[in-house]
Structures are given as C-alpha cells and as structure tokens.
Amino acid sequence: MPMPLPVHNRYPFSLIDQRPDFNWPEGKRLAFYVCCNIEYFAFGSGLGSEIGMVNPAPNQRSYAWRDYGNRVGLSRILDLLDELGLPGSHNVNSFLYDTHPEIFERIRRRGDEIIGHGRTNAERQSSMWEQDEARLIADSTAAITNNEGKAPSGWLGPWLAETYNTLDLLKEADYKYVLDWAADDQPFWMDTRAGKLLSVPYSLEINDSPAMVFRHHSAREFGDMIVDQFEEMIVQCEKQPLVFSTILHTFVAGQPFRLGPIRKALRHCMQHPLADRVWYTTPGGIADYCYKHLAPGVLSNS
C-alpha cells in the first residue's frame, strides 16, 4: 500500500454531478459577480507585482504602475460597473483607509461590498507565526469596521496566501466566508476548530492579473476568456447551479486599452439569450444565501 500523502482535512472530496440540486434566489441558476482588488504596496521593499523585469529597489517604475490603479484605474472600473448596472465587491488592503481614504466615498455611495484583504499586498501571511497572523487579521478587520460601520464578512488573503491556521483564525474572528480556495464552481463548507466556514468560488483563471500580467494574455484574449467561461457556464448551470466570477485589479484592468474588451465581454454576458438564468450579486450575497438556505448537508460538504 502506498504511503499516504499529507492532507488538510478541511473538506471531503465531492463530485459536482453527484450533489443535491438547489437554486439561487428566484430560481436563478448562475450567480454572477465582479470583484475588484484594491491594493496598497510599500515603496522600495516588500512584495509587489512587476510590470516588467524586476528593477533594483526602490523600483519606482513598478510602484508607480501599481499606484496608477488607485489614482486612476479604480475610478474607471467603477465607471464601467455603473454603466453596466452591476453590483461591485472589493478586496481591500486596510492600509488604504489611512493612506487614501477618499477612494471609499464612491464605493460607499454605490453600496458595494468591502472584503478583507489583509493590511497590504507588500506582505503575505503564509510565513507568519499564528499570533502574528491573528494580529494581521485583527488589524485589517478593525480598520474596515471602524471606517465602514460594520465588519467585513469575507476574506481574501494577500496573494491568496494562508498558513495551516488561517481558516481557524478567520472563523474565530467572525468571518463568514473565504475566497482563498479556488477548488470548485459551487460554494462549499470548510471545517475549522471553531465550526463551519464557507468557501465562495473565486476565479484564478478569469482573473486579470495572472492572465495578463503573468501569462501575458492580451486584453482581447482576456475578454474572450470571460465570454467563453460564461458561454459554457450558462449552459452547464441547467444541470448544477454555479458561480461565475470576474476578478479585476485596478492597476491591470483599469488601464484604458483593457477596459474596452472587458466592457464588451461583460455586456455580451448580460445580453445573452439565457441571461434570465443569472443572479447578479456579490460574494457576500452568495454567502448570505448559503447561510440562510444551504446549510451543511445541502451543499457538497457536510
């Protein structure tokens, strides 16, 4: 018998075509959300996406490229969401409340969801001791709560990084859902030492940063990915209810030459002949529905 491999014991294996059926609100079959990552980086140190070959510190070129996202790109993405009439959700580095608080005024007016995304993407929690990681989560949560008047219900780790303790710490900090586990097209329940935590699907593929920055796809190719993903899922959701997500970063999708193909792709999805199957929502909306109507035993993981 082969030696067993290490396992995480957070959720059991489940085939999507062997699960109980359910509907989204009003009998919809495809939950559809757009999520924007709003990030803040240290100058001259720490982690950060690169626009090209890595330069020596302080590397103002890549810092300025990322800062463009907060100065310009976010406004352009919000314009796009307004134009299409789509709700928005935003993974937010909490240091932004101290450095650029004015960017949140329009987000609040739109009624968009704020999701915890650590303090800054210049750090990742995967190398932290448990006490340090708990402090990171607490700092981020407190900043959002103090500025928005309510705590975030969802979390995406900077760089989607986790330790073995992350899910336990999130549940103990009263988070309802996590976006770090891109293991499914449906939400599923995860086990923590404090009870169940929901995993909401978050695409690593229909995601502008890995697609266009790291794999060097063009904006038109990314637009085609959005359309092709949707075209398949709008048919597949007749058999199983699914979640479709498009992930945008302010400094990537917010560049003018990329906005056109993304706009065209999202409009195509919204004007599809089967668009009456679609529920336009946020990750928090999906989580709320699951907690109310799809408790463990109904979704794939019980």
Instruction: State the SS3 of 86-107.
Output: CCCEEEECCCHHHHCHHHHHHH
In angstroms, the CA 191 to CA 102 distance is: 38
Q: Give a yes or no: residue 143 inside a domain.
A: yes
pLDDT at position 54 is 67
Reported pTM: 0.95
Write the CATH number for 152. Answer: 3.20.20.370
Instruction: Give the count of alpha carbons within 13 A of 22, CB side only.
Output: 21
- For residue 3, give every residue at least 6 positions away whose Cβ sits within 8 Å of its Cβ, in sequence order, or none: none
pLDDT at position 297 is 66
In angstroms, the CA 258 to CA 17 distance is: 36
Q: Give a yes or no: residue 137 inside a domain.
A: yes
74-84 and 256-270 helices, crossing angle to 10°: 20
Q: Give a yes or no: residue 135 inside a domain.
A: yes
Tally of domains within the chain: 1
In angstroms, the CA 175 to CA 194 distance is: 11
Instruction: Write the DSSP string, the chain.
Output: -PPPPP---SS----GGGS-----GGG--EEEEEEEEE----SSSS----SSSPPPTT-HHHHHHHHHIIIIIHHHHHHHHHHHT---EEEE-TTHHHH-GGGHHHHHHHTPEEEE--S-TT--GGG--HHHHHHHHHHHHHHHHHHHSS--SEE--GGG---TTHHHHHHHTT--EE------SS-EEEEETTEEEEEPP--SSSBHIIIIIIS---HHHHHHHHHHHHHHHHHHTTTS-EEEEEEEETTTTTSHHHHHHHHHHHHHHHT-TTGGGEEE--HHHHHHHHHHH--TTTSS--
Per-residue pLDDT of the chain (302 residues; tens, 9 = 90+): 778 899 999 999 999 999 999 999 999 999 999 999 999 999 988 888 877 666 777 788 899 999 999 999 999 999 999 999 999 999 999 999 999 999 999 999 999 999 999 999 999 999 999 999 999 999 999 999 999 999 999 999 999 999 999 999 999 999 999 999 999 999 999 999 999 999 999 999 999 999 999 999 999 999 999 999 999 999 999 999 999 999 999 999 999 999 999 999 999 999 999 999 999 999 999 999 999 999 886 675 54
pLDDT at position 302 is 47
Q: Give a yes or no: residue 49 inside a domain.
A: no
Q: Give a yes or no: residue 243 inside a domain.
A: yes
Residue 145 sits in which domain range? Answer: 16-43+57-293
Q: Give a yes or no: residue 181 inside a domain.
A: yes
Q: What is the maximum span of the chain, computed from C-alpha positions, in angstroms?
A: 60
Instruction: Give the count of alpha carbons within 13 A of 56, CB side only.
Output: 0
pLDDT at position 53 is 65
Q: Give a yes or no: residue 140 inside a domain.
A: yes
In angstroms, the CA 196 to CA 202 distance is: 19
In angstroms, the CA 296 to CA 43 distance is: 44
Q: Give a yes or no: residue 2 inside a domain.
A: no
